[in-house]
Chains A and B, each alone.
Chain A
Amino acid sequence: MTESTDQGRRTVTTLRELPQSIEPPQDLWPRIEAQLEERAPGATRGAAMPQRRRGQALRWLVAAAMVASLAVGVWIGRSLMPSAGGGVAPSTTANRSSVPVPGVAPTTFDTTYVSDPRYERQRTALVRALQERLAALPAPARAKVSASLAAIEKAKKDLEQALGRDPSNALLQELLINTYQDEMRVLTDVHEASDPGRGI
């Protein structure tokens, strides 16, 4: 049906012989891909989905760790440190064995990210003396310390798990170090607050 002459003057006798496919003058894919990237279709599936979920989980984790650190700091500042008005009264009836101190056993401590021997020595000594020191605190203060240490331990575990999935994440590393420091601060404050020499 087609009567061709040359390339530019091809003739046709039916409309179906006209070319259906016409290539665009330029490659449109880079623009399309950029748009797909930009719109990051929430309704569509794709490999980017798990990445987004991970990012979201990370944000929640970071927020939780920061809140825990802040709460501990505020509590230490307000409740544990001796105030000018006389401080916390010592409890002479406290039963040492009945005080639960979750998550501060030296065996659970992961030294992967903090390996300074001085830190480890100091922490081990503080943990060892913790029960005794806690016993010297009034019951409400003891409960607060326990709750704070539990929160810190939870934050440490979460951060360590997250670092297990993403070991090179600098933000997570920093948060974990901060959490260790918070723990040390609580242990030190408990030690000092219950020191008989400080008048508690």
Chain B
Amino acid sequence: MSAGEHFRFLENVLPCGDEGLKPFRSGAPLTVQMPHAQAEETRVDWGGALLERARAGDRRAFERLYREHVGRVYGLCLRMTRDAQLAEDCTQETFINAWRALGKFETRSSLATWLHRIAVNVSLAKRRRSGQVEPLPEEEEGMAAGEWILETPVEVQEIESAIGGLPDGARDALVLHALYGYSHVEAAQMLGIAEGTCKAQLHRARKLLRERLGVEVS
């Protein structure tokens, strides 16, 4: 990683603004909104001790954080890269970068979200290096955030396959917004695109999913 890339990396992975981040809680009841829940805060506080130890250089503590978060990181990398080997590499690099930047992590944000930011950066960088860059769609306004509800139930394997077949930009936006619950703003920030572009990608993803699954996606 060059000095410039490293600087950009640090800039990109650091949470910005006071708006706060909205981490999605796995196993939480599904709701349209994803508010900060008390349980989440408790979990983060508990993890804070581990985090502090890791920041002090305790590698065993960092390993425990790795064990706690690797599934969500690998899941995101796999969906973004569509390649198991590449996803492993991205996951590995994500945690290495996280270790190196732990001192700059601001505890007011969620570690899970921070790791996702790093994972998105790493995955996008790998994709750029492999020359897979697609033109961005026109920006779109007025599309409301919401649950991506399928008119009829669809098998997990089928829908995963349909998501995997989406163009990169549309898939990235869909995965971050519809699967991991990030807002348009957050997803756009993580992907380094304008909010309107993110919405346009989601619109495109919805349209393509509808066509490929043969069911209405609302």
Contact = CB atoms under 8 A, between A and B. Distances in A.
A169 interface: no
A33 B91 contact: no
Interface of A: 1, 3, 8-26, 28-29, 31-33, 35-36, 39, 41, 43-49
A11 B156 CA distance: 6
Contact of A13 (B26, B71, B150): B150
Interface of B is mostly: helix
A9 B30 CA distance: 21
Contacts of A41: 99-100
A14 B58 contact: no
A45 B56 contact: yes
Contacts of A49: 57
Contacts of B71: 20-23
B149 interface: yes
B96 A36 contact: yes
A39 to B, nearest CB: 7
Contacts of A48: 57
A21 B72 contact: yes
B147 A14 contact: yes
Contact of A11 (B30, B99, B153): B153
A32 B100 contact: no
Contacts, number: 118
A45 B92 contact: no
B26 A20 contact: yes
A46 B155 CA distance: 47
B30 A14 contact: yes
B103 A45 contact: yes
Contact of A10 (B103, B149, B156): B156
Interface string B24-67: 10100010000000000000000000000001111100010011
Contacts of A32: 66, 92, 95-96
Given A13-B149, A39-B96, A44-B103, A20 B179 contact: yes
B211 interface: no
Contacts of A16: 30, 147-148, 178-179, 181
B78 interface: yes
A44 B99 contact: yes
Interface in B113-151: 147-150
Contacts of B91: 24, 28
